[in-house]
Chains A and B, each alone.
Chain A
């Protein structure tokens, strides 16, 4: 029966395409992009097919098994989990509680310690601002690092404007924070230490267990942003001694728009809610819990628990393949961040003597992200790379390759081929590279001033 349905779909698709051609003839508004059978042109770039996806840190595709778990809650089981009086509410609540248990199981927590939010950004906001506002009479100091995610840094800046004090600790050139620096920064009025588990730009893994142990000794609440780490490296809130942990759904092959916050019950950590309302999620986060999204996150967590070992083995092998492939053909390639303490699926490379923007323009068949923000409005290189002490020119040419569950060997080989091709082409045209090949030390050149 399924195959017959597929047949009807395949035979009607040319008509559908004809209809869409007729409709686009009248859509004069969208002039920047057009699509035909040979390719697509968008934002001035013409490509022949959908790029191969190597940007898993930005977001990940929804796993078909997760989508399968979510769909019933968009179709017939559409109830609000807070409706207590009928089947629609009851079945929805059951699904939410099942998902809660699945998320808790992945981090070795109790389901009562999980609060669903709209994403890791909201969880980070609740952790940083919520904790400090609750304890504002006694605690006025926050410690964090310079390589944290923007939402943590922005929340800290907001606290500074309210009169709190924040210490932004530097990191080493390998991206790892120094524990002794944290210890010496802790004061009697320190209310929170926040260090992310896996960095989203360079992929380094911070020493969370050691930091957690120290914070427990000194009695300071410890928050970690585990959005990039969940489902990829083993996480155990008991071993890590964290009080708060932010989790994200769309980084582990789940839907966008959902996340969770782990809040320890023993010893209990209290927060001031950022979303006021009907008191859902134990008063921490009011608002209707989005059942399909939450079910999706639960299914994604359950899958991650089963697939973590298999995925990790594959991704480590693919990372080696990518790095060896590039190093075999190119020199002057630098890996940003520690080589030992890193998550395999995140590879941030800088290519010397190549301009970043032109490299990205040439790599349009590969969906990657650059470390620098030159693709956005500002021309400044990424603050994470700057915190690592990377030179401006190297920071501008950094590319972040993200390898995930669905990445194939053929995609890695193709990415290597395209990157090597583009870098060689750009270096061919580069006078700086010519000088380097002749043995001139670039840094010793006195540039004539006009």
Chain B
């Protein structure tokens, strides 16, 4: 049985997810991953029951693994043009 993750472990996982999100080449996916991570962790801020904390932590860990894999896949097929949202307009 996994022990309850410590505060520093949770923070470290949060930062890893945000760092991974930054590497997405697609504008929409990048913004979504950042936003979903922040909202997801914020939503679980007040969870106090240790088994729920452990469950949420392991869920976030598997999401991190998925995100890492997909960052690589997306970077293999970057379209030549960027999104208009990434191009500075007058």
Query: Within the assembled complex, what's the spacing in Å between the Cα atoms of A410 and B28?
Result: 11
The answer to whether A49 and B72 have CB atoms under 8 Å apart is no
The answer to whether B66 and A64 have CB atoms under 8 Å apart is yes
Question: Contacts A406-B32, A408-B85 known; A17 to B66 CB distance under 8 Å?
Answer: no
Query: Within the assembled complex, what's the spacing in Å between the Cα atoms of A107 and B55?
Result: 26
Q: How far is the CB of A308 from chain B (nearest CB, A)?
A: 14
Question: Contacts A50-B79, A406-B31, A408-B31 known; A68 to B84 CB distance under 8 Å?
Answer: no
The answer to whether B73 and A6 have CB atoms under 8 Å apart is no
Q: How far is the CB of A180 from chain B (nearest CB, A)?
A: 44
| Total residue contacts A-B, CB cutoff 8 A | 74
Query: Within the assembled complex, what's the spacing in Å between the Cα atoms of A22 and B23?
Result: 29
Q: How far is the CB of A164 from chain B (nearest CB, A)?
A: 45
B10 at the interface (CB under 8 A from A): no
Query: Within the assembled complex, what's the spacing in Å between the Cα atoms of A410 and B39?
Result: 18
Which residues of B37-81 have CB atoms within 8 Å of chain A's CB atoms?
39, 63, 66-76, 78-81
Chain B: interface residue total (CB-CB under 8 A):
30
A310 at the interface (CB under 8 A from B): yes
Query: Within the assembled complex, what's the spacing in Å between the Cα atoms of A155 and B65?
Result: 45
B15 at the interface (CB under 8 A from A): no
Query: Within the assembled complex, what's the spacing in Å between the Cα atoms of A347 and B78?
Result: 30
Question: Which residues of the other chain, A, contact B76 by a CB distance below 8 angstroms?
Answer: 9
The answer to whether A6 and B85 have CB atoms under 8 Å apart is no
Question: Pick the contact of B86 from A49, A51, A67, A405 — CB < 8 Å?
Answer: A49
The answer to whether A2 and B84 have CB atoms under 8 Å apart is no
The answer to whether A68 and B70 have CB atoms under 8 Å apart is yes
Question: Which residues of the other chain, A, contact B11 by a CB distance below 8 angstroms?
Answer: none
The answer to whether B28 and A65 have CB atoms under 8 Å apart is no
The answer to whether A49 and B82 have CB atoms under 8 Å apart is yes
Question: Pick the contact of A410 from B36, B66, B71, B85 — CB < 8 Å?
Answer: B85
Which secondary structure dominates where chain B touches chain A?
Answer: helix
Query: Within the assembled complex, what's the spacing in Å between the Cα atoms of A68 and B63?
Result: 11
Q: How far is the CB of B72 from chain A (nearest CB, A)?
A: 6
Q: How far is the CB of A76 from chain B (nearest CB, A)?
A: 15
Q: How far is the CB of B71 from chain A (nearest CB, A)?
A: 7
Question: Contacts A6-B23, A406-B28, A408-B31 known; A67 to B73 CB distance under 8 Å?
Answer: yes
Which residues of A67-121 have CB atoms within 8 Å of chain B's CB atoms?
67-68, 71
Question: Pick the contact of B81 from A9, A50, A64, A414 — CB < 8 Å?
Answer: A50
Question: Contacts A2-B71, A49-B87, A65-B66 known; A17 to B80 CB distance under 8 Å?
Answer: yes
Question: Contacts A64-B66, A64-B67, A68-B69 known; A39 to B31 CB distance under 8 Å?
Answer: no
Question: Contacts A408-B85, A410-B85 known; A2 to B68 CB distance under 8 Å?
Answer: yes
Q: How far is the CB of B56 from chain A (nearest CB, A)?
A: 12
B6 at the interface (CB under 8 A from A): no
The answer to whether A67 and B70 have CB atoms under 8 Å apart is yes
Residue of B nearest to A47 (CB): B84
Query: Within the assembled complex, what's the spacing in Å between the Cα atoms of A365 and B84?
Result: 7
Query: Within the assembled complex, what's the spacing in Å between the Cα atoms of A17 and B79?
Result: 11
The answer to whether A310 and B28 have CB atoms under 8 Å apart is no
Query: Within the assembled complex, what's the spacing in Å between the Cα atoms of A405 and B28?
Result: 9
Question: Which residues of the other chain, B, contact A405 by a CB distance below 8 angstroms?
Answer: 32
Question: Which residues of the other chain, B, contact A40 by a CB distance below 8 angstroms?
Answer: 80-81
Question: Contacts A6-B72, A408-B28, A408-B31 known; A50 to B66 CB distance under 8 Å?
Answer: no
The answer to whether B31 and A49 have CB atoms under 8 Å apart is no
The answer to whether A5 and B72 have CB atoms under 8 Å apart is yes
A411 at the interface (CB under 8 A from B): yes
The answer to whether A35 and B81 have CB atoms under 8 Å apart is yes
A53 at the interface (CB under 8 A from B): yes
The answer to whether A414 and B32 have CB atoms under 8 Å apart is no
Query: Within the assembled complex, what's the spacing in Å between the Cα atoms of A33 and B5?
Result: 54
Kindly supply a per-residue 1/0 record for chain A positions 343-383, scoring 1 wherever the CB is within 8 Å of any chain B CB and 0 otherwise: 00000000000000000000001000000000000000000
Query: Within the assembled complex, what's the spacing in Å between the Cα atoms of A39 and B80?
Result: 9
Query: Within the assembled complex, what's the spacing in Å between the Cα atoms of A54 and B86?
Result: 16
The answer to whether B84 and A48 have CB atoms under 8 Å apart is yes
Query: Within the assembled complex, what's the spacing in Å between the Cα atoms of A53 and B29?
Result: 12
Question: Which residues of the other chain, A, contact B81 by a CB distance below 8 angstroms?
Answer: 35, 39-40, 48-50
Question: Pick the contact of B75 from A6, A17, A50, A411 — CB < 8 Å?
Answer: A6
Query: Within the assembled complex, what's the spacing in Å between the Cα atoms of A2 and B66?
Result: 13
A52 at the interface (CB under 8 A from B): yes
Question: Which residues of the other chain, A, contact B68 by a CB distance below 8 angstroms?
Answer: 2
Residue of A nearest to B29 (CB): A64
The answer to whether B71 and A50 have CB atoms under 8 Å apart is no
User: Can you list 29 pairs linking A and B with CB atoms under 8 Å apart?
Assistant: A2-B68, A2-B72, A6-B23, A6-B72, A13-B78, A35-B81, A48-B84, A48-B87, A49-B83, A49-B84, A49-B85, A49-B87, A51-B84, A52-B84, A53-B28, A64-B29, A64-B73, A65-B66, A67-B70, A67-B73, A68-B70, A310-B36, A310-B39, A405-B32, A406-B31, A406-B32, A408-B28, A408-B31, A414-B84
> B-side interface residues toward A, CB under 8 Å?
23, 28-29, 31-32, 35-36, 39, 63, 66-76, 78-87
